[in-house]
A and B are shown apart, each in its own frame.
Chain A
Amino acid sequence: MENNGHEKEILDLIPGENSWEQILYQVVAMNNLDPWNLDLNVLSKGFADHIMSLEELDFRIPAKWIIIAAVLLRMKSDYIKIMKMDREPEEGEFIDFDELEETEIEDLGTGILEEDIDPIEVTARRKPIRAITITELVSSLKRVLSSERRRVLKVRKARGKIKIKTDDIAVRIENLYNRISSMLTKMNEKKLPFSSVVDRWEKEKVIDTFVPLIHLDNDRKIECRQKDMFDEIFIKKREDIS
């Protein structure tokens, strides 16, 4: 039973998600603290003890818990006033403020020194910023214009590479139809593979032939059939079908 109790104590120590609040509640409950008038000394010590016991058991301690402990410690240090000691502590003597009652702490000192001590101030991380100058505006403009010029040149260059046919599409459609007709007659066939109509199997030639072909199909002069994608296209004349 004792073992089970010990085991439960250890399991209780395992940090869960967002359980730091629960630990605070636990410290408050265990020390009979008044939730409306918390003793920061006891609360921060209880929380720190809990973290230390976790360390002893080699549990991983969430970073958030360390922050909470640091905040509590900060609150505690704000709470305990810096006292002027009546006497210098003897060598090796350690005064544990946690062990002293509040009245005993006050007895130790003769007065609060807060007004004599410069408060610790966090240096503001001030990034000096300034207005931009017209010279800088010019440099920025220069960059924009040069990248714009590069973009325009790139477009012009790309356009130069593409040869746009200016001949009449109607003539090309008619020429292709005549060619298909004569090839079908010569071959004495009813259908013709598209690859045989293209002069040379090159990208531009394929496109040059394919464009009038789809016009012919659309005009219902021919019918194109393709079994699967990227397969051969077979061409039939509509008049032959009917």
Chain B
Amino acid sequence: MSSEPMSLDELSKVTGVNSLGYLRGMLLELKDDYAERGIRLLESAQGWSFQVHRDHLDKVANLTPHADIPEGQKRTLALIAYKEPVTQSEVIKIQGNKTYAYIRSLITRGLVRGEKHGRTKMLSLTQEFERYFGEEKERVREQLIEKLIKKGDAPPQEDVPENLNMNQE
């Protein structure tokens, strides 16, 4: 009943199973077992956790207001997902200085990668991001733009990333 994902070491202590390989094997079995259910067992950079299946998340999201990514970080992640690849300096210019901390947290969490790019960093999305949303990052971006348009907020053409091939009709 942990509110945070649990690492293999923590699970080993709780269960008393000393062999981490054996424990991981059991977790993978359990993961397969849950694959077709509404709740999934996920392995992330932070550890193992149960999560509601992405397909049902919108329906149950209102049951708890507490998201595992704070609002500031969520905005930064949204911006990176939308403009990727984007430099850290551009994100800072848009969101302000406090964004340095948000970017650091997102990198630590494994959702974003930062590679040295001159005097700044080039930010991009990771496989962990894809695992988190259960979609390829391109598909997430497409959905972002589609939903923006549906909400009546068609992004200006210059805002649409050049590398995004989508039919906005």
Residues of A within 8 A of B (CB): 124, 126-138, 140-146, 148, 151
Interface size class of B (residues with CB under 8 A): 35 or more
* Cβ-closest 10 pairs across A and B: A141-B78, A140-B78, A138-B147, A140-B75, A128-B64, A140-B74, A129-B66, A129-B68, A132-B67, A137-B78
- Does chain A have a CB within 8 A of B18? no
Cross-chain pairs A/B with CB under 8 angstroms, 5 sampled: A128-B63, A129-B3, A134-B135, A134-B147, A138-B144
- Does chain A have a CB within 8 A of B36? no
Contact present for B68 and A133 (CB under 8 Å): no
Residues of B within 8 A of A (CB): 1, 3, 51-52, 54, 57-58, 60-61, 63-64, 66-69, 71, 74-75, 77-79, 81-82, 94-95, 132-133, 135, 140, 143-144, 147-148, 151, 153, 155, 159
A145 to B61, CA, bound (A): 24
| A128 contact set on B, CB distance < 8 A | 3, 63-64, 66
Contact present for A135 and B3 (CB under 8 Å): no
Contact present for A140 and B67 (CB under 8 Å): no
| B82 contact set on A, CB distance < 8 A | 141
A102 to B28, CA, bound (A): 54
| A144 contact set on B, CB distance < 8 A | 75, 78-79, 94-95
| A134 contact set on B, CB distance < 8 A | 133, 135, 140, 143-144, 147
Contact present for A141 and B148 (CB under 8 Å): yes
Contact present for A138 and B67 (CB under 8 Å): no
Contact present for B151 and A143 (CB under 8 Å): no
**Provided the pairs A128-B3, A130-B57 are in contact, do residues A141 and B51 lie with their beta carbons within 8 angstroms?**
no
A140 to B82, CA, bound (A): 11
A144 to B144, CA, bound (A): 13
A134 to B151, CA, bound (A): 13
| B67 contact set on A, CB distance < 8 A | 129-132, 136
A136 to B69, CA, bound (A): 11
CB-CB nearest in chain B for A143: B75
| A140 contact set on B, CB distance < 8 A | 71, 74-75, 77-78
Contact present for A137 and B81 (CB under 8 Å): yes
A165 to B94, CA, bound (A): 30
Given A126-B3, A131-B132, A148-B94, 17 new contacts (CB under 8 A): A124-B1, A127-B66, A129-B64, A130-B67, A131-B54, A132-B67, A133-B58, A133-B61, A137-B78, A138-B144, A140-B78, A141-B75, A141-B81, A142-B153, A144-B79, A145-B153, A145-B159
